[in-house]
Amino acid sequence: MRRATLHQLLAPEAWHGPGLSPVNQAVSILILLASFIAILETEPTVRSLAPGLFPLLEAFFVTVFIFEYLLRLYAVGEDTRYRGIAGRLRYIFSFWSLIDLIAILPFFLGFLAYNNAFLLRLLRLLRMLRLARLGRFSQAWSALADALHSRTHELLLSVGVAGLLLLFSSACLYVVEAASQPDAFGSVPRALWWSIATLTTVGYGDVTPITALGKVFAGITAVAGIGIIAMPTGILAAAFSDAFQNKDNTQGD
């Protein structure tokens, strides 16, 4: 198969047909299957039913992904940005290429962490992150990047406001609740956990103010949290709308 044809089949931006190429459709299915198998493997009951099956399936998926990675590395030379040795090195350290490597490395690192339960759990988690590879096949990621870039200042402002409110509410609860609940509100850092849970509207309930003044500040923080959460949501919604509209206009032209 010629390299140009291989590049068209593997690079989503080079495919001129509708949707994904047959090769990328097959890769997407394999990614979903590999992630599903990795999730099942975390259940000891399922793993005990066929202890030798999961390593065999993982070896199969890794072999396919390595072959796919090498084909992409070969075919990417059709792109003027990645021609030659310097171009290939640039591609290896590109974002999506590093994501591809993350899908492969846990298999080999597992041999080094065979007797370490924590590292084995971590490596299984990394195998589930293979789902991130599907991002290369979707234009939504580029729209997300455009949206974040176009609203950087607004998002930073909302993060700054949220940080100030967290600090202010933590300091207020420290002042009014420290004497009654030193374990929970005995310092501003301790009170910060309550502020985060309240401001994000999670409300675990493990730490609550008991004084009248503390409850007043808690109510103000909870109401303010609604607006703080809504602020970046509205900013991103507007940015997404603009990004997709611009993309549609570009494709229409």
pLDDT tens for each residue of 2-40: 888 999 999 888 888 887 899 999 999 999 999 898 888
Looking at residue 251, what is its pLDDT? 54
- Comparing 91 with 111, the larger pLDDT belongs to 91
Summarize the confidence of residues 149-165 as an average pLDDT: 86
SS3 sequence, the chain?
CCHHHHHHHHCHHHCCCCCCCHHHHHHHHHHHHHHHHHHHHCCHHHHHHCCCHHHHHHHHHHHHHHHHHHHHHHHHHHCHHHCHHHHHHHHHCCHHHHHHHHHHHHHHHHHHCCCCHHHHHHHHHHHHHHHHHHHHHCCHHHHHHHHHHHCHHHHHHHHHHHHHHHHHHHHHHHHHHCCCCHHHHCCHHHHHHHHHHHHCCCCCCCCCCCCHHHHHHHHHHHHHHHHHHHHHHHHHHHHHHHHHHHHHHHHHC
From residue 88, alpha-carbon distances to 64, 77, 78, 84 in Å are: 21, 7, 11, 6
The model's confidence at residue 102, banded by pLDDT at 50, 70 and 90, is: confident
Residue 160 has, within 13 A of its CA and on its CB side, a CA count of 6
Quick one: 64 and 7 in the same domain? yes
Is residue 163 a contact partner of residue 156, using CB atoms and an 8 Å limit? no
Summarize the confidence of residues 145-168 as an average pLDDT: 84
Quick one: 112 and 10 in the same domain? yes
Question: Is position 44 within any domain?
Answer: yes
Looking at residue 187, what is its pLDDT? 94
- Within 10 angstroms of residue 208's Cβ, the number of other Cβ atoms is 16
Of the residues 114, 138, 162, the one at which a domain ends: 138
Quick one: 56 and 179 in the same domain? no
Helix axes 152-177, 140-150, angle to 10 degrees: 70
Of the residues 113, 138, 163, the one at which a domain ends: 138
Indicate the number of domains in the chain: 2
Quick one: 130 and 59 in the same domain? yes
Looking at residue 41, what is its pLDDT? 85
Q: Which two tokens stand for residue 197?
A: 């849970």
Question: Is position 154 within any domain?
Answer: yes
- 135-156: pLDDT as tens digits: 777 666 666 677 777 788 888 8
- 202-240: pLDDT as tens digits: 878 888 899 999 999 888 888 888 888 788 888 878 877
The rounded distance, in Å, linking the Cα atoms of 242 and 248 is 10
Looking at residue 205, what is its pLDDT? 80
pTM: 0.66
Of the residues 88, 118, 138, the one at which a domain ends: 138
Domain CATH code at residue 35: 1.20.120.350
Domain CATH code at residue 181: 1.10.287.70
Question: Is position 144 within any domain?
Answer: no
Mean pLDDT rounded to a whole number for the chain: 84
Looking at residue 75, what is its pLDDT? 92
Quick one: 96 and 215 in the same domain? no
Quick one: 103 and 197 in the same domain? no
pLDDT at 248 over 80: no
Quick one: 61 and 155 in the same domain? no
Looking at residue 67, what is its pLDDT? 94
- 114-138: pLDDT as tens digits: 666 677 677 777 777 777 787 777 6
Is residue 111 a contact partner of residue 105, using CB atoms and an 8 Å limit? no
- Comparing 160 with 228, the larger pLDDT belongs to 160
Looking at residue 239, what is its pLDDT? 79
Looking at residue 53, what is its pLDDT? 92
What domain range includes position 24? 3-138
